[in-house]
Amino acid sequence: MKHQLNAYFILSGELPPESKEDLDEFFIQFSEKIQQSKKEGKFDIAWSIKKSELALKISSIDSISPHVAILRIRKQLAATIGKKYRVGLRGFKFKYYKITTEIDDQPIKEFTLPLTKKLTFSEKEGKNWVEIQIDPEISEDFVEKGTIERIVRRVSEKISKQKYGAKKEHHEIVFYSGEKELFTKENPTQLMQKANWIQRTNYRNQWILTPTLTTLSEALKQIMVDYIYKPLGFDQMMIPKLVDWSVWLKSEHAEGLYQGGFEPYFVVQPKEPTPEYFEEIADYITVTKTIPNDMLSEKVTAPIGGLSYAQCPPFWPWLQGRTLAKESLPIKVYDWSGPTYRYESGSAYGFERVDELHRIETLFIGTPEQTKKIGKDVRNKLRDVFEKALDLEFREARVLPWWLQQSAREDEEDLDELVVGTIDFEAYMPYRGSRKKSEWLEIQNISIIGQKYPKGFSVKAESNLELWSGCGGGSFERFLTAFISQKGLNPDDWPTEFKKYFDKLPTPVKFH
């Protein structure tokens, strides 16, 4: 890798001429030290002073990056000139920073990156190169926190994404329930709509769950408690449903924002929460009976985060920065305290893909052994729910979702064993066609996530025990769509075990 940086330090005052020798000495020693530690590379610094600016030209080839050097210089030089000449360093600014590095492939389409002034791709001697010009306005803070390293890495990531597309999920069927008795071939959403069990609202992919559907959801809850949570010792909790950016930054969801796999609803705040500030808008609505969107958008902030997308990220601030006592491990909880929101783009969907869903999260934290064991137990109990209580025809598939690909890559060994990974439960939907050709519906998953969350949220365990986590999600909408699609609406056709969990279905409201 080749670097050229022209930058300058802003000094708190002018240095006297006699400081020249000290500076010469300082930079010679500084370069020599680097040259000694990186023998095969090349590293050069030239310096000059103009009033209260100390200009530097640093070039390096396969050696320490100049931006790393400048951070070290800042620290060491402050000590050298601060005491002797009472001149401080006020920080540095870049004038020009170019990084040249080899890449695997040429991009298919040119692209830009934040804080990057120019990207130039070339081919030389059968090799591919990129020249990255960093935006000189980049802040000291970003330089310190690894932004430049991530820009360089991002170039290769974008190229391989262009070339190979979004990575396909690995998908391997590892269990099949066998064929089950099916009572209908109708579309379950339409069946439930016709029976007035569910009602679409004015808003995209949002539904009203009538007492009939609610009774079935409550029955499912009791089944899950009896089959999974009671025997395995899980406790219910209520995880927040409004998620600010700090959480999605740590869980790394924010990095995948609308990149396929994380499509949250945003939440904004009023810029001023006062009657005066909103009076104009209130008056406008009063006289026109319409919402003035443009006026309104001026009075609210940028999103401060969004609505719960999957329950677990906002769970973690509970443990963030703490050290868990051994006796508290493993932690086993579940949450169904509120809806989950997802902007499901594309056409309107049925009840199986809603924007406001009622998701059940099962979450566990422990040592790697504890976590693997609980994951296995939960998986077996889920299988019981689908087989014994609902008599569903389903299969289990091993997958490696996008959000695990990153952490799995860092842990190649685990990838082989698929210790870190996901099992999807998928139900057959007869109305979609044959078992072989049709798309099955994912109704639940269970994942062993490894260290990702404990690391991301700085959670530790007593005596430095390694901490892992795992979690699973499923929605009542998916469970019931799958169930109705196989068993129909007539409770006479339903398994006795399920019917044990409700007395009588409320009679649907009729309309004239």
Is 424 known to be catalytic?
Answer: yes
At its nearest, how many Å lie between ligand ATP and the CB of residue 90?
Answer: 48
At its nearest, how many Å lie between Zn ion and the CB of residue 473?
Answer: 6
Is 344 known to be catalytic?
Answer: yes
Catalytic residue among 205, 359, 445, 477: 445
Residue 7 and residue 58: Cα distance in Å, rounded? 8
Query: Would you say 249 and 399 are in contact if contact means Cβ atoms under 8 Å apart?
Result: no
Is 361 known to be catalytic?
Answer: yes
Grouping H, G, I as helix, E, B as strand and the rest as coil, residue 63 is coil
Q: Of 147 and 189, which has the nearer Cβ to ligand ATP?
A: 189
Q: Is residue 471 a contact point for Zn ion (CB under 5 A)?
A: yes
Binding-site ranges for ligand ATP (CB under 6 A)? 310, 342, 344, 353-354, 357, 359, 442-445, 473-475, 477-478
Q: Which helix (H) or strand (E) holds 418?
A: none
Torsion sign (Cα): 136, 141, 143, 147: negative
Q: Of 130 and 360, which has the nearer Cβ to ligand ATP?
A: 360
Q: Residue 391's closest CA among 488, 473, 319? A: 488
Query: Would you say 98 and 110 are in contact if contact means Cβ atoms under 8 Å apart?
Result: no
The pair of structure tokens assigned to 310 is 């999957």
At its nearest, how many Å lie between ligand ATP and the CB of residue 355?
Answer: 7
Residue 79 and residue 355: Cα distance in Å, rounded? 58
Is 445 known to be catalytic?
Answer: yes
**Residue 471 contact among ligand ATP, Zn ion, none, beta carbon within 5 to 8 Å by kind:** Zn ion
The pair of structure tokens assigned to 308 is 């719960």
* Strand intervals (E) in 323-440: 323-324, 331-335, 340-341, 356-357, 359-366, 394-399, 421-427
State which of positions 298-317 bind Zn ion (CB under 5 A): 312
Q: What is the DSSP letter of 326?
A: G
| Count of residues near Zn ion by CB under 5 A | 2
Is 342 known to be catalytic?
Answer: yes
Q: Of 8 and 364, which has the nearer Cβ to Zn ion?
A: 364
Q: Is 223 exposed, middle or buried (0-12, 13-18, 19+ CB in 10 A)?
A: buried
Catalytic residue among 353, 359, 379, 383: 353
At its nearest, how many Å lie between Zn ion and the CB of residue 386?
Answer: 19
- All residues at 6 or more sequence positions from 486 whose CB lies less than 8 Å from its CB, including other chains: 180, 182, 183, 184, 392, 393, 427, 428, 429, 430
State which of positions 163-182 bind Zn ion (CB under 5 A): none
At its nearest, how many Å lie between Zn ion and the CB of residue 471?
Answer: 3
Half-sphere exposure of 115 (CA within 13 A, CB side): 18
Catalytic residue among 352, 424, 426, 477: 424
**Residue 353 contact among Zn ion, ligand ATP, none, beta carbon within 5 to 8 Å by kind:** ligand ATP
Catalytic residue among 335, 352, 361, 393: 361
Is 471 known to be catalytic?
Answer: yes
Residue 491 and residue 219: Cα distance in Å, rounded? 13
Residue 390 and residue 491: Cα distance in Å, rounded? 12
Q: Of 53 and 344, which has the nearer Cβ to ligand ATP?
A: 344
Catalytic residue among 131, 140, 244, 344: 344
Is 478 known to be catalytic?
Answer: yes
Catalytic residue among 312, 335, 355, 359: 312
Interacting residues toward Zn ion by CB under 5 A? 312, 471
Residues designated catalytic: 312, 342, 344, 353, 361, 424, 442, 445, 471, 478
